[in-house]
Structure 1
Amino acid sequence: MYGEPKRDRKTERRERTREEILDAAWEIARAEGLAGLTLRDVAQRVGMRAPSLYSYFASKHAIYDAMFAQGWRRLLEGYGEMPLTGHPLADLKSMTRYFLEFSTADPARFQLMNQRTIPGFEPSPESYALAVKCLDLARERLAALGLDDERTLDLLTAINAGLASQQIANDPGGDRWTRLADEAMEMFLAHVKNRRTSDE
């Protein structure tokens, strides 16, 4: 139709190929572990020679970086869509359940996002900004519930990451630790309230 902007088909094809490469990288990471990712295996899965990957990603760490960004972007989107009630305990339980479901659904993704498992890998500032944005959203959510200090945020993230790590490491596919989410949030909120009373 006259007046519509022309599609940049070359850029679209490039982005589709990048997505295909990342999908292949995730498949390998889930099957072989993050450290088992090789450019040769990724290239083989997408039907190209390994040197051709450099047209899309400058290095293996650049692929990890894009995967890191994907993970945090998806977590951020999920948090953004989460309906909240304004009731502190109910909302804390919902947030924790969502984080644990997201984390345990894909252990390789959790490890890349939250643990330093790749020697020498540091996310780029652009990718790391997504992780910071997610933490900022959690900070805002807590503040809206009247829980507005950094110590409280640190404790909450430690509890959630600890439950996820224990579940992934010791009962993959089960619920031995994730089923403790509600109880953990009850203890957390009671502790924070008691601490505030003691500090007054």
Structure 2
Amino acid sequence: MLGNPTSDRVAKRREAVRREIVDAAWAIARRDGLAAVTLREVAASVGMRAPSLYTHFESRNAIFDSMFADAWQDCLDQMEAEIGDAPRETVRDFLKWNSRTFFAFCVGDPARFQLMNQRTIPGFEPTPDSYAPSIKALERFRQELEPFGLTRQEDIDLYTALLGGLIDAQLANDPGGNRWEKLLDRAVDMYVDGLDLPLQRADTSSTKKN
């Protein structure tokens, strides 16, 4: 079976239009904020009438859903591309690398970070399909922590809350600067010093040595 070339072309064209719509939504969000992403504004950006968007996205939140999937897939792809350079001598070294890498990813695109990690859109919740890349990213992170014995959920929750808080503070209080970025290594040292891990006991590093 050779398939239906006409159907294939239609499907590819439809996907290309959906991609154009999502890219336009990102451009608006980065220029004017996520709240500025409306069906009317997106339609104007791609040369459509707003009702025509409904043939591709059933609602504004459906556009946000695709954007959410984009954001977390970008994160997963970047971390996968760079994970080979991560130091693994100690959990302290690895978490300092991870913190710097994720911090740079987030502050480099505030609109993307807001959609990924903050509930800025009333009534929006990602669908399971769009949420899947975020789950995969977290599971990938867990896999990297397992060799260090860092597996307890509360320990992982504390780290993600600590890192997320520094990112929030940077974007809210010093956009474009590095006031909170400079605290990353110190924050990781404080965090690791509060852990009780078998492999951590062999880590003789201290805040004085880092």
Q: TM-score, normalised by structure 2?
A: 0.86
Shift of 1:193: 3.5
Separation of aligned partners in 1, 2:138 and 2:197? 24
What SS does structure 1 have at the residue aligned with 2:57? coil
2: distance between equivalents of 1:31 and 1:78?
23
In 2, Cα distance between equivalents of 1:64 and 1:33: 13
Find the aligned partners of 1:127 and 1:4 in 2 and give their Cα distance: 29
For residues 154 and 36 of structure 1, the distance between their equivalents in structure 2, rounded to whole angstroms, comes to 32
**What percentage of residue pairs aligned between the two structures are identical?**
48
Matches within 5 A, 1:24-35: 24-35=24-35
What is residue 130 of structure 2 aligned with on the other side?
A: 127
**For the residues of structure 2 that align with 1:191 and 1:168, how far apart are their CA atoms?**
27
Aligned to 2:52: 52
| Greater Cα offset, 90-99 or 165-174 | 90-99
Equivalent residue for 1:102, pick from 105, 115, 127: 105
Q: Indicate the residue corresponding to 1:75 in structure 2.
A: 75
Q: Using the TM superposition, give the Cα deviation of residue 5 of structure 1 relative to its aligned residue in structure 2, in angstroms.
A: 9.8
CA RMSD of aligned residues (A): 2.1
Q: What is the rounded CA distance, in whole Å, between the counterparts of 2:197 and 2:130 in structure 1?
A: 37
Match of 1:116 among 109, 115, 119: 119
| Alpha-carbon shift at residue 57 of structure 1 (Å) | 0.8
The reply to whether residue 150 of structure 1 matches residue 189 of structure 2 is no
Equivalence for 1:64? 64
Contact kept, 8 Å, 2:99 with 2:163, in 1: the verdict is yes
Match of 2:95 in 1: 92
Tell me which residue corresponds to 2:38.
Answer: 38
When structure 1 is superposed on structure 2, of 59-68 and 27-36 the one drifting more is 27-36
| Letter of the 1:85 counterpart | P
Contact 1:142 1:153 in 2 (8 A): no
Distance across 2 between alignment mates of 1:80 and 1:5: 36
Q: Distance in 1 between matches of 2:42 and 2:187?
A: 40
Answer yes or no: is 1:186 the counterpart of 2:185. no
Deviations 1:123-182 (A, max 9, x none): 101111222221112222111222111111001100111011000100111111112112
Please state whether the residue corresponding to 1:192 is helix, strand or coil: coil
Residue 51 of structure 1: how far off its partner (Å): 0.9
Q: Distance in 1 between matches of 2:178 and 2:35?
A: 26
Contact 2:35/2:121 (<8 A) preserved: yes
- For 1:90, the aligned partner's letter is D
**Which residue of the other structure, out of 139, 160, 166, is the alignment partner of 2:169?**
166
Report the AA paired with residue 92 of structure 2: L
Q: How many positions carry a matched residue from both structures?
A: 195
Q: Are residue 138 (structure 1) and residue 135 (structure 2) matched?
A: no
Provide Cα deviations, 1:81-136, integer angstroms capped at 9, x if missing partner: 22133222221111111110111011111111111111111110111122222111
- Structure 2 portions without partners, runs of 5+: 202-210
